[in-house]
Structure 1
Amino acid sequence: MDIEFDSAKDEANIAKHGISLARAAEIDLLAYVADDRFNEPRFRLYGLIDDEAYCVAGTDRDGKVRVISLRRAHAKEMRRYVP
């Protein structure tokens, strides 16, 4: 997956969630969920990184995934969105 992200946002994500946004490129995708709560089309990706469940919030920018956040996925989310 071809990704991009803001370096300041990456630092904030590392401080808050303990993982770099760069790791989003490694996600083994299990589910895609559209998110229409914002002014731009966004989505959440659920999948595995190092055999742990993660959620990527992102948007499409010129054919790349613009990563907004990356965090551990909650068990409830995985049950709801992952078949």
Structure 2
Amino acid sequence: MRFTWDAGKANFNLQKHGVSFQEATTAFRDPLSVTGYDPDHSTDENRFVTFGVSNQGRLLVVSHTEEDNVIRLISCRLATKSREENL
């Protein structure tokens, strides 16, 4: 699995949500991770949301696209309690 992202967006995400894109990549290795299509944000491209536990033990919500087996990260944040309860 290969990952890519915009460096500026990664820095902004770290400042805003306290989660690095490097950590976000580890959520995809969670054997219990769940990925779903995100129709609300798929107007220009197909976007997906993955819920997975990172190597830091934090449940993350990762927004991304995928093309030619490359995952482009868009944003990531900690899952809220209500999202955790709905999983």
TM-score (norm 2): 0.82
Partner of 1:66: 72
Higher strand share: 1
Partner of 1:20: 20
Partner of 2:60: 54
The percentage of counterpart residues that share the same residue type is 30
Q: Which structure 1 residue ranges, 4+ long, deviate > 4 Å from structure 2? A: none
Tell which deviates more after alignment, 25-34 or 61-70: 25-34
1:20 deviates by 1.3
For structure 1, which runs of at least 5 residues remain unmatched after alignment? none
State the alpha-carbon separation in 2 of the partners of residues 70 and 58 from structure 1: 9
Residues paired across the two proteins, number: 81
How big is the alpha-carbon RMSD for the aligned residues of Structure 1 and Structure 2?
1.4
| Kept after mapping to 2: 8 A contact 1:33/1:43 | yes
The alignment partner of 2:19 has SS state of coil
State the alpha-carbon separation in 2 of the partners of residues 19 and 74 from structure 1: 14
For structure 2, which runs of at least 5 residues remain unmatched after alignment? none
